[in-house]
């Protein structure tokens, strides 16, 4: 048996790979097409934490852990998943190989189509590979809490009992889903495809509704700095808390969109990876579409996040200002009605978690070492939800070209 990790060069993917290398004794195959590196470069940015080439990272991970059974494959999911699943019949597939950016998906039609093709077709390719060659493989898929419709009630954990006109449903039904950007709509569609695969083909899947992830710390980050994961803080690929902390350190105002009324969930990178490892070891039953809401802070406003960082920054001698006038997503027009997320499965798992304030302190401490590389945090958002990116984006924002995706370079472990 083996473990197949798709999207292994990314922020969460590399962190998970390092953790799995310490905690599972099966061969691990790490797949990535390396396109995120190119997309971030197209946005005039780079990982704020220096990272090695994918091949060098894999070789260093082997050396550090003493494991010769970790293989790196440079290829897109559609190009490689069918032969890999046919040959290996892995115990579990962890699919993180998505373009993880709402702004990227809203730039223009080409980026929207690219996001749809990468995310949805890759997911469908995984499901069909499992159906044809390894129906007993367990799929752990990274979804998003942004799939859920904000409708004034707590966010149910995938499926809920419902009542309509006084009549209860005979079985739990999917919690309503709705999204205001192409990226999160691909996530909704992914969940529908996975649910179909479980119902019709009897596949086993854990669909992780991931909240916003923050932090830098991974299982091996202190052992060798070259094993650190990437960290993005630009307005296209940087997530809100990571970006705010980077802005605080480099002296840029925190870009609190629409006054910060929008709410979100949060979880530290270390906790997210701990949970993912747990789900790989606690598979869903055949035919089960197990949905997990993955958040330790189940509802917090963007303004509250900014004010927390402002307070902790002041303790470190940082003068942190807030810029609340930007509204590229037109959120002021859509009052936030999202309730807190139910997280029964995560809480029942017993996974230790990091308190938000402590996690922010860790992140601030870690980024201070890379202050000179936080230029991406100074960039202002240019992608407007209604008009897209400017026709002639500035060099410090998003380039007009589509990134060059590497040709497949796949090899199976011996």
Confidence of residue 386 (pLDDT cuts 50, 70, 90): very high
199: nearest Cα among 174, 164, 175: 174
Instruction: List the end-to-end C-alpha distance of the chain, in Å, as a whole number.
Output: 14
Are the C-beta atoms of residues 26 and 93 closer than 8 Å to each other?
no
* Minimum mean pLDDT range among 55-59, 219-223, 237-241, 356-360: 219-223
147 phi-psi bin (left φ>0, alpha ψ -120 to 50, beta other):
alpha
pLDDT at 43 exceeding the cut of 70: yes
CB proximity list for 164: less than 8 A, separation 6 or greater: none
Are the C-beta atoms of residues 140 and 92 closer than 8 Å to each other?
yes
Segment 14-41, tens digit of pLDDT? 999 999 999 999 999 999 999 999 999 9
Name residue 214's beta-bridge partners.
Answer: 268
Give pLDDT, residue 143: 98
E strand or H helix that includes residue 71: strand 70-74
The string of DSSP letters for 107-158 reads: S-HHHHHHHHIIIIIHHHHHHHHHHHH-TTPEEEEEEEGGGB---SS-B-SS
pLDDT at 407 exceeding the cut of 90: no
Length of the chain: 414
For residues 390-396, average pLDDT: 55
Cα 105 to Cα 116, 182, 192: the distances in Å are 8, 6, 20
Are the C-beta atoms of residues 256 and 302 closer than 8 Å to each other?
yes
- Mean pLDDT score across all residues of the chain: 94
Segment 296-326, tens digit of pLDDT? 999 999 999 999 999 999 999 999 999 999 9
pLDDT at 411 exceeding the cut of 80: no
Segment 242-300, tens digit of pLDDT? 999 999 999 999 999 999 999 999 999 999 999 999 999 999 999 999 999 999 999 99
Cα 271 to Cα 12, 16, 111, 261, 353: the distances in Å are 11, 11, 31, 26, 6
Segment 324-339, tens digit of pLDDT? 999 999 999 987 778 8
E strand or H helix that includes residue 163: strand 163-164
Percent of the chain with pLDDT over 70: 94
Mind listing the domains of the chain with CATH numbers? 3-378 (3.40.50.720)
Give pLDDT, residue 404: 52
Give pLDDT, residue 337: 74
**pTM: predicted TM-score of the whole model, two decimal places:** 0.94
Give pLDDT, residue 413: 43
pLDDT at 399 exceeding the cut of 50: no
Report the relative pairing of strands 159-160 and 173-174 from DSSP bridges.
antiparallel
Burial class (CB within 10 angstroms; exposed 0-12, middle 13-18, buried 19+) of 414: exposed
Listed in order, strand segments (DSSP E) in 287-350 are 289-294, 297-301, 322-323
For CA atoms 182, 36, 41, 250, the dihedral sign is positive
* Cα–Cα–Cα angle for 370, 36, 86, rounded to 5 degrees: 130
C-alpha–C-alpha distance, residues 142 and 190, integer Å = 10
E strand or H helix that includes residue 29: strand 28-32
Confidence of residue 222 (pLDDT cuts 50, 70, 90): confident
């Amino acid at each position: 048996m083996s473990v197949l990790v798709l999207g292994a060069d990314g922020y969460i993917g590399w962190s998970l790979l390092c953790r799995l290398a310490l905690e599972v004794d099966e061969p691990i195959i790490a797949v990535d097409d390396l396109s995120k590196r190119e997309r971030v470069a197209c946005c005039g940015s780079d990982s704020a934490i220096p990272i090695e080439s994918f091949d060098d990272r894999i070789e260093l991970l082997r050396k550090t852990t003493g494991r010769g059974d970790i293989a790196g494959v440079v290829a897109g999911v559609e190009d490689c998943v069918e032969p890999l699943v046919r040959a290996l019949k892995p115990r579990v597939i962890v699919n993180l190989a998505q373009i993880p950016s709402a702004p990227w998906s809203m730039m223009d039609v080409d980026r929207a189509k690219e996001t749809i093709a990468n995310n949805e077709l890759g997911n469908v390719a995984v499901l069909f590979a499992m159906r044809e060659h390894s129906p007993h493989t367990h799929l752990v898929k990274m979804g998003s809490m942004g799939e859920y419709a904000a409708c004034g009630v707590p966010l149910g954990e995938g499926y809920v009992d419902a009542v309509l006109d006084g009549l209860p449903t005979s079985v739990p039904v999917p919690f309503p889903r709705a999204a205001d950007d192409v990226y999160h709509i691909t996530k909704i569609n992914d969940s529908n495809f996975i649910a179909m695969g479980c119902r019709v083909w009897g596949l086993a899947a854990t669909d992780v509704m991931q909240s916003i992830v923050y932090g830098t710390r991974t299982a091996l980050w202190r052992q060798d700095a070259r094993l650190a994961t990437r960290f993005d803080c630009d307005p296209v690929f940087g997530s809100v808390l990571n970006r705010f902390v980077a802005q605080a350190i480099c002296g840029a105002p925190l870009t609190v969109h629409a006054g910060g009324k929008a709410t979100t969930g949060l979880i530290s990178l270390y906790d997210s990876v701990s949970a993912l490892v747990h789900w790989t070891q606690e598979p869903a039953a055949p035919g089960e579409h197990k949905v997990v809401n993955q958040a330790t802070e189940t509802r917090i406003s963007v303004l509250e996040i900014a004010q927390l960082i402002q307070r902790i920054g002041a303790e470190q001698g940082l003068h942190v200002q807030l810029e609340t006038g930007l509204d590229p997503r037109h959120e002021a027009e859509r009052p936030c009605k999202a309730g807190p997320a139910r997280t029964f499965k995560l809480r029942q798992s017993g996974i230790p978690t990091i308190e938000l304030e402590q996690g922010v302190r860790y992140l601030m401490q870690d980024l201070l070492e890379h202050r000179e590389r936080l230029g991406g945090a100074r960039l202002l958002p240019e992608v407007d939800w209604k008009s897209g990116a400017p026709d002639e984006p500035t060099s410090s924002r998003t380039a007009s070209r589509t990134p060059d995706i590497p040709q497949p370079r796949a090899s199976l472990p011996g």
